[in-house]
Amino acid sequence: MTIDLRSDTVTKPTEEMRRAMALAEVGDDVYGEDITINELEAKGAALMGKEAGLFVASGTMGNLLAVLSACQRGDEIIMEDQMHMFWYEVAGIAALAGVQIRTLPGAGGAVSEEDLRSAIRSEDIHFPRTRMFCMENTHNRAGGTVISKDKMESLYKIAKAHGLWVHTDGARIFNAAVFLGVEPRELAACTDSITFCLSKGLAAPVGSLLTGPKDFILRARKYRKMLGGGMRQAGVLAAPGLIALETMRLRLAEDHRRARQLAQGLADLGAGVVMGTVQTNIIRFQVPMAAEEFVARLAERGVLANPTGPDSIRFVTHYQVSDEDVEAVLSVCRDIFREEAQGR
Ligand SMILES: *Cc1c(COP(=O)(O)O)cnc(C)c1O
């Protein structure tokens, strides 16, 4: 038995999702005729309080389409320096959109109002145009931490006062909403467009949604075609996404509870873990040996995890991690810590 804590992207579709895939009504989505995709896009947009939605292959594609649809070549985007869009999207924003990213340091994944204000460029023949401001909630590299609605709102207001487009990478926005006890649309009200993943904690096999105003989504739809993302009878992929939105959002609280249990257990073993940052389903912690070595010893015992630095590890809880798994993982960690103390 393997317990896979590498990411919530490893979740497999439920039986109900598999049945829905088999029975999905489909059509040619490039003609707008796949009613399952149309339903998913409408449902996703409604959840976010936006006019329209677009089903895309991945969160990466959704974020890139947002940039393509809001910016022109040579524009500049401001974002916090640990964001996924800066670290993990293969510089598509530079290579394919021709847009420059300007990063600012953050705290808990969010930039300060002061830093944002002073980074927005004035009109000058030498300067690029600051066109866009991006946020990420929950924040992956900060450890799944949540940005409050108040913080999003105050940054949104500054950006809008300067005429910027505000986009949020909400890959895990439902984790943030569950943690804060708010509706997703309350957070989405603090951004012009937002992407969210169906294929992470919600356990659908494929896809993300980009949502925003109608004209913006129309432009994104055309750019999606340009990138080769105009799929045909993809309702078979949208059907499990609908089930994900209908049935998997609120149970994320269970993943959060298990993450806290894991984190507390690790802290009790003497691992370096800052409990206050364990807000959702991600745990980052320090171990008393090389991270690669710790990960290898976990793997010998059937537990998969990713290193995040020379001595730091990340665990992610998700739909396929049970209470028994949490106990089993802590027991494995206890053994590894004991071996290390005895100088294996
Ligand atoms: C996973 C993730 C994405 C998108 O990932 P894809 O694998 O392209 O779907 C974007 N942003 C964040 C914060 C993520 O964690």
CATH architecture classification, 251-341: Alpha-Beta Complex (3.90)
Report, as an integer, the average pLDDT of 279-304: 96
Ligand 1 pocket, 145 CB below 6 A?
Answer: no
SS3 content of the chain, % helix, strand, coil (to 5): 45, 15, 35
pLDDT tens-digit readout, 143-159 = 999 999 999 999 999 99
Question: How many alpha carbons lie under 13 Å from residue 298 in its C-beta half-sphere?
Answer: 25
For helices 252-269 and 173-180, the axis angle rounded to 10 degrees is 80
The mean of the pLDDT values for the chain is 97
pLDDT tens-digit readout, 227-259 = 999 999 999 999 999 999 999 999 999 999 999
Length of the chain: 344
pLDDT of residue 172: 98
For 245, the enclosing helix (H) or strand (E) is: helix 235-247
Give the distance (Å) from ligand 1 centre to CA of residue 195. Answer: 9
Residue nearest atom 4 in ligand 1 by C-alpha distance: 59
Query: Is residue 341 over pLDDT 90?
Result: no
Q: Is 268 exposed, middle or buried (0-12, 13-18, 19+ CB in 10 A)?
A: exposed
pLDDT of residue 103: 98
Q: How far apart are CA 84 and CA 222, in angstroms?
A: 24
Ligand 1 pocket, 59 CB below 6 A?
Answer: yes
Q: Which CATH class is domain 13-246?
A: alpha beta
Ligand 1 pocket, 197 CB below 6 A?
Answer: yes
Domain ranges of the chain: 13-246, 251-341
Q: How far apart are CA 239 and CA 229, in angstroms?
A: 18
* Closest atom, ligand 1, to C-alpha of 83: 13
Whether omega for the bond prior to residue 11 falls within 30 degrees of 0, making it cis, is no
Alpha-carbon torsion 148, 144, 317, 41, what sign?
positive
Query: Is residue 327 over pLDDT 70?
Result: yes
Residue nearest atom 5 in ligand 1 by C-alpha distance: 59
Report, as an integer, the average pLDDT of 223-230: 98
Q: How far apart are CA 294 and CA 337, in angstroms?
A: 9
Residue nearest atom 3 in ligand 1 by C-alpha distance: 59
Identical fold between 13-246 and 251-341: no
Residues 229-265 as b/e (b if ≥16 CB within 10 A, e otherwise) read: bebebbbbbbbbbbbbbeebbeebebbbebbbbbbeb
pLDDT of residue 1: 81
**344: pLDDT confidence band, cut at 50, 70 and 90?**
low
Share of the chain above pLDDT 70, in %: 100
Ligand 1 pocket, 286 CB below 6 A?
Answer: no
